[in-house]
Amino acid sequence: MAQFPIADPAPADGKLPEQALIGASVRTFHAYIHVPFCSVRCGYCDFNTYTSSELQGFNQTDFVQRLLQELDFSQRVLETSGLPQRALTSVFFGGGTPTQLPVSDLVRSLEALTEIFGLSSHAEITTEANPDSVDVRYLNALAAGGFNRVSFGMQSAVPSVLKTLERTHNLENVPLAVRYAKDAGLKTSVDLIYGAPGESLDDWKRSVEAAIGLETDHISAYALIVEPGTKLYRQIQSGQLEEPDEDLEADKYEFADEAFGSAGLNWYELSNFARTPSDASLHNLAYWTGQDWWGYGPGAHSHVGGVRWWNAKHPTAYAKPLLDGLSPAVGREVLDDQARLSERVMLELRLRSGLASEVLTGVTGDVDQKISSLIADGLIDGVAAIRGTISLTLRGRLLADGVVKRLLA
Protein backbone atom coordinates (compact mmCIF):
# COMPACT_ATOMS: atom_id res chain seq x y z
CA MET A 1 0.00 0.00 0.00
CA ALA A 2 1.27 3.52 -0.80
CA GLN A 3 3.22 5.13 2.03
CA PHE A 4 2.34 8.49 3.52
CA PRO A 5 4.93 11.28 3.34
CA ILE A 6 7.32 11.66 6.27
CA ALA A 7 6.14 14.65 8.26
CA ASP A 8 5.33 16.13 11.65
CA PRO A 9 2.69 14.56 13.85
CA ALA A 10 -0.67 16.31 13.49
CA PRO A 11 -1.92 18.22 16.57
CA ALA A 12 -4.72 16.44 18.42
CA ASP A 13 -6.93 19.55 18.37
CA GLY A 14 -6.39 19.92 14.59
CA LYS A 15 -5.67 23.65 14.89
CA LEU A 16 -4.20 25.10 11.71
CA PRO A 17 -1.15 27.38 11.62
CA GLU A 18 -1.52 31.05 10.53
CA GLN A 19 -0.17 30.22 7.07
CA ALA A 20 -3.42 28.42 6.22
CA LEU A 21 -5.32 31.72 6.45
CA ILE A 22 -3.28 33.60 3.85
CA GLY A 23 -5.34 34.03 0.67
CA ALA A 24 -8.14 31.79 2.00
CA SER A 25 -10.90 34.17 0.89
CA VAL A 26 -9.86 33.80 -2.77
CA ARG A 27 -9.58 30.01 -2.66
CA THR A 28 -12.61 27.81 -3.08
CA PHE A 29 -13.52 25.15 -0.49
CA HIS A 30 -14.29 21.50 -1.26
CA ALA A 31 -15.06 18.27 0.60
CA TYR A 32 -13.78 14.78 -0.20
CA ILE A 33 -15.34 11.85 1.67
CA HIS A 34 -13.39 8.61 1.56
CA VAL A 35 -15.51 5.48 1.91
CA PRO A 36 -13.01 2.64 2.42
CA PHE A 37 -15.10 -0.43 1.63
CA CYS A 38 -15.10 -2.80 -1.34
CA SER A 39 -16.72 -6.20 -1.74
CA VAL A 40 -13.49 -7.57 -3.28
CA ARG A 41 -10.14 -5.97 -3.98
CA CYS A 42 -9.19 -5.64 -7.66
CA GLY A 43 -5.73 -7.04 -8.33
CA TYR A 44 -4.24 -3.69 -9.45
CA CYS A 45 -5.67 -1.44 -6.75
CA ASP A 46 -3.75 -0.10 -3.75
CA PHE A 47 -6.37 2.41 -2.62
CA ASN A 48 -7.10 2.57 1.10
CA THR A 49 -10.00 0.15 1.04
CA TYR A 50 -11.02 -2.95 2.99
CA THR A 51 -13.09 -6.01 2.28
CA SER A 52 -15.28 -7.25 5.13
CA SER A 53 -12.65 -9.76 6.31
CA GLU A 54 -10.04 -6.96 6.56
CA LEU A 55 -12.18 -4.71 8.77
CA GLN A 56 -10.97 -6.40 11.98
CA GLY A 57 -14.11 -5.77 13.96
CA PHE A 58 -14.93 -2.34 12.55
CA ASN A 59 -18.62 -2.21 11.82
CA GLN A 60 -19.44 -0.67 8.44
CA THR A 61 -22.79 0.50 9.82
CA ASP A 62 -20.95 2.78 12.31
CA PHE A 63 -19.08 4.53 9.55
CA VAL A 64 -21.47 7.38 8.91
CA GLN A 65 -21.55 8.22 12.64
CA ARG A 66 -17.78 8.67 12.70
CA LEU A 67 -17.98 10.72 9.52
CA LEU A 68 -20.54 13.03 11.13
CA GLN A 69 -18.18 13.41 14.09
CA GLU A 70 -15.36 14.42 11.77
CA LEU A 71 -17.70 16.92 10.11
CA ASP A 72 -18.39 18.59 13.46
CA PHE A 73 -14.69 18.45 14.27
CA SER A 74 -13.77 20.14 10.97
CA GLN A 75 -16.25 22.94 11.60
CA ARG A 76 -14.66 23.60 15.00
CA VAL A 77 -11.12 23.51 13.62
CA LEU A 78 -11.83 25.85 10.72
CA GLU A 79 -13.66 28.29 12.97
CA THR A 80 -11.13 28.34 15.81
CA SER A 81 -8.27 28.62 13.31
CA GLY A 82 -9.88 31.78 11.90
CA LEU A 83 -10.73 30.51 8.41
CA PRO A 84 -13.56 32.42 6.70
CA GLN A 85 -16.89 30.61 6.33
CA ARG A 86 -17.01 29.35 2.73
CA ALA A 87 -19.77 27.41 0.99
CA LEU A 88 -18.66 24.17 -0.65
CA THR A 89 -17.95 24.36 -4.39
CA SER A 90 -17.84 20.58 -4.69
CA VAL A 91 -18.40 17.44 -2.66
CA PHE A 92 -16.90 14.15 -3.82
CA PHE A 93 -17.58 10.72 -2.31
CA GLY A 94 -14.74 8.43 -3.40
CA GLY A 95 -13.31 5.16 -2.32
CA GLY A 96 -13.26 2.35 -2.10
CA THR A 97 -16.83 2.00 -3.21
CA PRO A 98 -19.07 4.70 -1.68
CA THR A 99 -22.14 3.05 -3.20
CA GLN A 100 -21.53 0.02 -1.03
CA LEU A 101 -23.10 2.08 1.76
CA PRO A 102 -26.87 2.40 1.91
CA VAL A 103 -27.87 5.45 -0.15
CA SER A 104 -29.40 6.99 2.99
CA ASP A 105 -25.89 7.15 4.52
CA LEU A 106 -24.54 9.12 1.55
CA VAL A 107 -27.53 11.48 1.56
CA ARG A 108 -27.30 11.97 5.31
CA SER A 109 -23.61 12.86 5.08
CA LEU A 110 -24.32 15.31 2.28
CA GLU A 111 -27.12 16.91 4.33
CA ALA A 112 -24.76 17.35 7.27
CA LEU A 113 -22.11 18.95 5.04
CA THR A 114 -24.74 21.27 3.58
CA GLU A 115 -26.00 22.24 7.03
CA ILE A 116 -22.52 23.02 8.29
CA PHE A 117 -20.95 24.77 5.30
CA GLY A 118 -23.71 25.41 2.76
CA LEU A 119 -23.32 24.72 -0.95
CA SER A 120 -22.34 27.28 -3.58
CA SER A 121 -24.96 27.89 -6.28
CA HIS A 122 -23.51 25.48 -8.86
CA ALA A 123 -21.93 23.03 -6.47
CA GLU A 124 -20.88 19.71 -8.01
CA ILE A 125 -21.90 16.72 -5.87
CA THR A 126 -20.39 13.47 -7.10
CA THR A 127 -20.17 9.92 -5.96
CA GLU A 128 -18.00 7.23 -7.45
CA ALA A 129 -19.87 4.02 -8.08
CA ASN A 130 -19.14 0.48 -9.04
CA PRO A 131 -21.60 -0.35 -11.86
CA ASP A 132 -22.71 -3.46 -9.96
CA SER A 133 -23.49 -1.64 -6.73
CA VAL A 134 -26.31 0.62 -7.95
CA ASP A 135 -29.78 0.14 -9.38
CA VAL A 136 -32.58 2.49 -10.50
CA ARG A 137 -33.79 3.05 -6.96
CA TYR A 138 -30.33 3.83 -5.66
CA LEU A 139 -29.58 6.33 -8.44
CA ASN A 140 -32.97 8.03 -8.11
CA ALA A 141 -32.43 8.35 -4.37
CA LEU A 142 -29.01 9.92 -4.95
CA ALA A 143 -30.53 12.52 -7.29
CA ALA A 144 -33.41 13.20 -4.90
CA GLY A 145 -30.88 13.58 -2.06
CA GLY A 146 -28.96 16.35 -3.85
CA PHE A 147 -26.29 14.49 -5.84
CA ASN A 148 -25.86 15.71 -9.41
CA ARG A 149 -23.02 13.58 -10.78
CA VAL A 150 -21.90 9.95 -10.70
CA SER A 151 -18.60 8.49 -11.84
CA PHE A 152 -18.61 4.78 -12.73
CA GLY A 153 -15.60 2.48 -12.65
CA MET A 154 -15.90 0.87 -16.09
CA GLN A 155 -12.18 0.21 -16.74
CA SER A 156 -12.61 -1.84 -19.92
CA ALA A 157 -15.24 -3.27 -22.24
CA VAL A 158 -13.23 -6.42 -22.95
CA PRO A 159 -13.92 -9.46 -20.74
CA SER A 160 -10.34 -10.80 -20.87
CA VAL A 161 -8.95 -7.41 -19.78
CA LEU A 162 -11.46 -7.14 -16.94
CA LYS A 163 -10.40 -10.62 -15.90
CA THR A 164 -6.71 -9.68 -15.82
CA LEU A 165 -7.64 -6.64 -13.74
CA GLU A 166 -9.74 -8.92 -11.54
CA ARG A 167 -12.75 -6.70 -11.97
CA THR A 168 -15.85 -8.49 -10.85
CA HIS A 169 -18.47 -6.13 -12.24
CA ASN A 170 -20.83 -7.38 -14.89
CA LEU A 171 -20.04 -5.74 -18.25
CA GLU A 172 -23.71 -5.43 -19.18
CA ASN A 173 -24.41 -3.38 -16.07
CA VAL A 174 -22.32 -0.44 -17.29
CA PRO A 175 -24.70 0.87 -20.01
CA LEU A 176 -27.67 0.13 -17.76
CA ALA A 177 -26.20 2.03 -14.81
CA VAL A 178 -25.28 4.98 -17.05
CA ARG A 179 -28.78 5.07 -18.52
CA TYR A 180 -30.47 4.91 -15.13
CA ALA A 181 -28.19 7.69 -13.87
CA LYS A 182 -29.04 9.91 -16.85
CA ASP A 183 -32.76 9.18 -16.42
CA ALA A 184 -32.41 10.27 -12.81
CA GLY A 185 -30.98 13.60 -14.05
CA LEU A 186 -27.39 12.91 -12.95
CA LYS A 187 -24.34 13.93 -14.96
CA THR A 188 -22.25 10.88 -15.80
CA SER A 189 -18.61 9.95 -16.13
CA VAL A 190 -16.78 6.65 -16.63
CA ASP A 191 -13.24 5.65 -15.68
CA LEU A 192 -11.17 3.57 -18.08
CA ILE A 193 -7.77 1.98 -17.54
CA TYR A 194 -5.34 1.26 -20.37
CA GLY A 195 -2.18 -0.81 -20.33
CA ALA A 196 -3.38 -3.98 -18.58
CA PRO A 197 -1.04 -6.92 -19.31
CA GLY A 198 -2.19 -8.61 -22.49
CA GLU A 199 -4.45 -5.73 -23.58
CA SER A 200 -3.96 -5.21 -27.34
CA LEU A 201 -4.48 -1.92 -29.16
CA ASP A 202 -7.65 -3.43 -30.63
CA ASP A 203 -8.91 -4.31 -27.13
CA TRP A 204 -8.36 -0.72 -26.07
CA LYS A 205 -10.12 0.61 -29.17
CA ARG A 206 -13.14 -1.49 -28.24
CA SER A 207 -13.18 -0.02 -24.74
CA VAL A 208 -12.80 3.55 -26.00
CA GLU A 209 -15.59 3.06 -28.52
CA ALA A 210 -17.85 1.45 -25.93
CA ALA A 211 -17.23 4.34 -23.54
CA ILE A 212 -17.99 6.89 -26.27
CA GLY A 213 -21.17 4.96 -27.09
CA LEU A 214 -22.42 5.59 -23.55
CA GLU A 215 -22.60 9.32 -24.35
CA THR A 216 -21.47 10.39 -20.90
CA ASP A 217 -20.52 13.98 -20.07
CA HIS A 218 -17.03 13.01 -19.00
CA ILE A 219 -14.46 10.21 -19.35
CA SER A 220 -11.28 9.59 -17.37
CA ALA A 221 -8.66 7.36 -19.02
CA TYR A 222 -5.83 6.32 -16.70
CA ALA A 223 -2.65 4.48 -17.60
CA LEU A 224 -2.43 1.41 -15.39
CA ILE A 225 -0.01 1.99 -12.54
CA VAL A 226 1.56 -1.20 -11.28
CA GLU A 227 1.60 -0.46 -7.55
CA PRO A 228 4.09 -2.34 -5.37
CA GLY A 229 2.26 -4.55 -2.89
CA THR A 230 -0.63 -5.37 -5.21
CA LYS A 231 -1.41 -8.81 -6.53
CA LEU A 232 -0.82 -7.49 -10.07
CA TYR A 233 2.68 -6.36 -9.04
CA ARG A 234 3.49 -9.85 -7.74
CA GLN A 235 2.09 -11.45 -10.89
CA ILE A 236 4.37 -9.26 -13.01
CA GLN A 237 7.40 -9.83 -10.77
CA SER A 238 6.94 -13.59 -10.99
CA GLY A 239 6.60 -13.47 -14.78
CA GLN A 240 3.01 -14.71 -14.69
CA LEU A 241 1.89 -11.50 -16.41
CA GLU A 242 3.90 -9.26 -18.72
CA GLU A 243 4.85 -5.69 -17.82
CA PRO A 244 2.87 -2.87 -19.51
CA ASP A 245 4.65 -1.66 -22.65
CA GLU A 246 5.24 2.13 -22.65
CA ASP A 247 5.20 2.50 -26.45
CA LEU A 248 1.91 0.63 -26.69
CA GLU A 249 0.50 2.81 -23.89
CA ALA A 250 1.47 5.93 -25.86
CA ASP A 251 -0.34 4.54 -28.93
CA LYS A 252 -3.39 3.89 -26.75
CA TYR A 253 -3.37 7.41 -25.36
CA GLU A 254 -3.09 8.90 -28.87
CA PHE A 255 -5.97 6.77 -30.10
CA ALA A 256 -8.17 7.75 -27.14
CA ASP A 257 -7.35 11.44 -27.49
CA GLU A 258 -8.29 11.39 -31.17
CA ALA A 259 -11.44 9.28 -30.72
CA PHE A 260 -12.71 11.21 -27.71
CA GLY A 261 -12.00 14.52 -29.46
CA SER A 262 -13.92 13.41 -32.59
CA ALA A 263 -16.83 12.43 -30.34
CA GLY A 264 -16.85 15.90 -28.74
CA LEU A 265 -15.03 14.96 -25.53
CA ASN A 266 -12.01 17.22 -25.25
CA TRP A 267 -9.08 16.88 -22.91
CA TYR A 268 -8.86 19.42 -20.10
CA GLU A 269 -6.34 17.46 -18.01
CA LEU A 270 -3.93 14.75 -19.15
CA SER A 271 -6.28 11.89 -18.26
CA ASN A 272 -9.61 13.68 -18.33
CA PHE A 273 -11.99 14.51 -21.15
CA ALA A 274 -15.21 16.56 -20.96
CA ARG A 275 -18.05 17.32 -23.35
CA THR A 276 -18.16 21.03 -22.47
CA PRO A 277 -15.96 23.13 -20.17
CA SER A 278 -18.74 23.00 -17.56
CA ASP A 279 -18.56 19.18 -17.61
CA ALA A 280 -14.95 19.25 -16.35
CA SER A 281 -14.83 17.90 -12.80
CA LEU A 282 -14.82 20.89 -10.42
CA HIS A 283 -13.55 18.60 -7.73
CA ASN A 284 -10.49 17.42 -9.61
CA LEU A 285 -9.80 20.93 -10.86
CA ALA A 286 -9.68 22.01 -7.22
CA TYR A 287 -6.79 19.58 -6.63
CA TRP A 288 -4.90 20.69 -9.70
CA THR A 289 -5.27 24.39 -8.98
CA GLY A 290 -4.35 24.26 -5.27
CA GLN A 291 -7.72 25.13 -3.71
CA ASP A 292 -8.70 24.13 -0.15
CA TRP A 293 -10.35 20.84 0.69
CA TRP A 294 -11.11 18.80 3.77
CA GLY A 295 -10.71 15.08 3.22
CA TYR A 296 -13.04 13.14 5.56
CA GLY A 297 -12.74 9.44 6.34
CA PRO A 298 -9.94 6.89 6.86
CA GLY A 299 -6.71 7.79 5.08
CA ALA A 300 -8.20 10.93 3.53
CA HIS A 301 -5.83 13.81 2.76
CA SER A 302 -6.72 17.46 3.36
CA HIS A 303 -5.19 20.71 2.13
CA VAL A 304 -5.75 24.24 3.36
CA GLY A 305 -3.38 26.98 2.17
CA GLY A 306 -0.25 24.84 1.83
CA VAL A 307 -0.97 22.88 5.03
CA ARG A 308 -1.60 19.21 4.34
CA TRP A 309 -2.64 16.48 6.72
CA TRP A 310 -3.84 12.92 6.46
CA ASN A 311 -6.01 10.64 8.55
CA ALA A 312 -5.26 7.23 10.04
CA LYS A 313 -5.76 4.60 7.37
CA HIS A 314 -7.60 1.78 9.07
CA PRO A 315 -11.25 2.54 9.96
CA THR A 316 -10.67 1.39 13.56
CA ALA A 317 -7.67 3.69 14.03
CA TYR A 318 -9.61 6.51 12.35
CA ALA A 319 -12.64 6.07 14.60
CA LYS A 320 -10.85 5.96 17.96
CA PRO A 321 -9.76 9.62 18.38
CA LEU A 322 -13.03 10.89 16.94
CA LEU A 323 -14.91 9.17 19.77
CA ASP A 324 -12.93 11.44 22.14
CA GLY A 325 -13.49 14.56 20.01
CA LEU A 326 -9.87 14.50 18.79
CA SER A 327 -8.30 14.68 15.33
CA PRO A 328 -8.07 11.43 13.34
CA ALA A 329 -5.01 12.86 11.53
CA VAL A 330 -1.69 11.03 11.91
CA GLY A 331 0.60 13.38 10.02
CA ARG A 332 0.86 16.89 8.73
CA GLU A 333 3.24 18.97 6.62
CA VAL A 334 3.44 22.67 6.04
CA LEU A 335 4.79 23.43 2.58
CA ASP A 336 7.15 26.39 2.20
CA ASP A 337 6.73 28.83 -0.71
CA GLN A 338 9.29 27.03 -2.87
CA ALA A 339 7.61 23.65 -2.41
CA ARG A 340 4.20 25.16 -3.17
CA LEU A 341 5.48 26.74 -6.37
CA SER A 342 7.08 23.49 -7.55
CA GLU A 343 3.86 21.66 -6.85
CA ARG A 344 1.94 24.30 -8.77
CA VAL A 345 4.20 23.76 -11.79
CA MET A 346 3.64 19.99 -11.66
CA LEU A 347 -0.13 20.22 -11.32
CA GLU A 348 -1.00 23.14 -13.61
CA LEU A 349 1.14 21.75 -16.41
CA ARG A 350 -1.27 18.80 -16.54
CA LEU A 351 -4.08 21.15 -17.49
CA ARG A 352 -4.98 22.22 -21.00
CA SER A 353 -5.28 25.79 -19.67
CA GLY A 354 -1.56 25.43 -18.88
CA LEU A 355 0.83 27.18 -16.55
CA ALA A 356 1.55 30.93 -16.58
CA SER A 357 5.25 31.13 -17.43
CA GLU A 358 5.72 33.92 -14.86
CA VAL A 359 5.13 31.28 -12.14
CA LEU A 360 8.38 29.64 -13.22
CA THR A 361 10.50 32.69 -12.55
CA GLY A 362 9.91 32.16 -8.82
CA VAL A 363 11.00 28.53 -9.03
CA THR A 364 13.86 28.15 -11.47
CA GLY A 365 16.39 29.99 -13.64
CA ASP A 366 16.91 30.14 -17.44
CA VAL A 367 13.16 30.17 -18.00
CA ASP A 368 13.27 31.59 -21.57
CA GLN A 369 15.93 29.13 -22.63
CA LYS A 370 14.04 26.16 -21.15
CA ILE A 371 10.83 27.24 -22.87
CA SER A 372 12.60 27.65 -26.23
CA SER A 373 14.14 24.21 -26.04
CA LEU A 374 10.78 22.60 -25.12
CA ILE A 375 9.15 24.35 -28.09
CA ALA A 376 11.98 23.16 -30.35
CA ASP A 377 11.38 19.58 -29.16
CA GLY A 378 7.66 19.89 -29.92
CA LEU A 379 6.67 19.40 -26.30
CA ILE A 380 4.93 22.71 -25.58
CA ASP A 381 2.81 24.98 -27.74
CA GLY A 382 4.89 27.85 -29.25
CA VAL A 383 1.93 30.20 -29.83
CA ALA A 384 0.64 29.81 -26.27
CA ALA A 385 4.19 30.35 -24.98
CA ILE A 386 4.39 33.74 -26.75
CA ARG A 387 1.22 34.67 -24.86
CA GLY A 388 2.85 33.65 -21.57
CA THR A 389 1.30 30.20 -21.07
CA ILE A 390 3.08 26.87 -21.04
CA SER A 391 0.69 24.34 -22.53
CA LEU A 392 1.59 20.78 -23.50
CA THR A 393 1.31 19.53 -27.08
CA LEU A 394 0.08 15.97 -27.66
CA ARG A 395 3.72 14.84 -27.68
CA GLY A 396 4.25 16.84 -24.48
CA ARG A 397 1.30 15.14 -22.83
CA LEU A 398 2.89 11.76 -23.55
CA LEU A 399 6.12 12.93 -21.95
CA ALA A 400 4.66 15.23 -19.28
CA ASP A 401 6.87 14.01 -16.41
CA GLY A 402 9.97 14.72 -18.48
CA VAL A 403 8.72 18.25 -19.29
CA VAL A 404 8.18 18.96 -15.58
CA LYS A 405 11.71 17.70 -14.83
CA ARG A 406 13.25 19.91 -17.50
CA LEU A 407 11.34 22.98 -16.28
CA LEU A 408 12.26 22.46 -12.65
CA ALA A 409 15.90 21.42 -13.28
Ligand X SMILES: C[S@@+](CC[C@H](N)C(=O)[O-])C[C@H]1O[C@@H](n2cnc3c(N)ncnc32)[C@H](O)[C@@H]1O
Integer angstrom CA distances of residue 393 from 238, 289, 378, 398, 399: 37, 20, 7, 9, 10
Integer angstrom CA distances of residue 281 from 148, 220, 277, 284: 12, 10, 9, 5
Residue 101 — left, alpha, or beta (φ > 0 → left; ψ -120 to 50 → alpha)?
beta
- Any contact of residue 287 with ligand X (CB under 6 A)? no
- State in angstroms the smallest separation of the CB of 196 from ligand SF4: 13
The string of DSSP letters for 238-299 reads TTSSPPPPHHHHHHHHHHHHHHHHHTT-EEEETTEEESSGGGS-HHHHHHHTT-EEEEESTT
- Any contact of residue 97 with ligand X (CB under 6 A)? yes
63 binds, among ligand X, ligand SF4, none (CB under 5 to 8 A by kind): none
Name the residue nearer to ligand SF4 (CB basis): 41 or 352.
41
Separation between Cα atoms, residue 330 and residue 309, nearest integer Å: 8
225 binds, among ligand X, ligand SF4, none (CB under 5 to 8 A by kind): ligand X
Name the residue nearer to ligand X (CB basis): 24 or 45.
45
- Any contact of residue 199 with ligand X (CB under 6 A)? no
Separation between Cα atoms, residue 365 and residue 165, nearest integer Å: 44
Name the residue nearer to ligand SF4 (CB basis): 95 or 299.
95
340 binds, among ligand SF4, ligand X, none (CB under 5 to 8 A by kind): none
Separation between Cα atoms, residue 119 and residue 100, nearest integer Å: 25
- Any contact of residue 95 with ligand X (CB under 6 A)? yes
Rule CB under 6 A: which residues touch ligand SF4? 38, 41-42, 45, 47, 49, 95-97, 130, 153
- State in angstroms the smallest separation of the CB of 121 from ligand X: 28
- Any contact of residue 93 with ligand X (CB under 6 A)? no
Binding positions for ligand X, 147-186, rule CB under 6 A: 153, 155
Q: Which residue is nearest to ligand X (CB)?
A: 153
DSSP letter for 188, please: E
Taking the CA of residue 174 as centre, how many other CA atoms within 13 Å lie in the half-sphere pointing to its CB?
27
41 binds, among ligand SF4, ligand X, none (CB under 5 to 8 A by kind): ligand SF4
Task: Give the containing element (helix H, strand E) for 233.
Answer: helix 231-237
- Report yes or no: 276 and 270 within 8 Å, Cβ to Cβ: no
Among 215, 227, 333, 377, indicate the residue that binds ligand X (CB under 6 A). Answer: 227
- Report yes or no: 349 and 407 within 8 Å, Cβ to Cβ: yes
Q: Which stretch binds ligand X (CB under 6 A): 157-165, 222-230, 280-288, 401-409?
A: 222-230
CA end-to-end distance (rounded Å), the chain: 30
Q: Which stretch binds ligand X (CB under 6 A): 41-49, 116-124, 135-143, 312-320?
A: 41-49
**Residues in contact with ligand X by the rule CB under 6 A:** 44-45, 47, 94-95, 97, 128, 130, 153, 155, 191, 193, 222, 224-225, 227
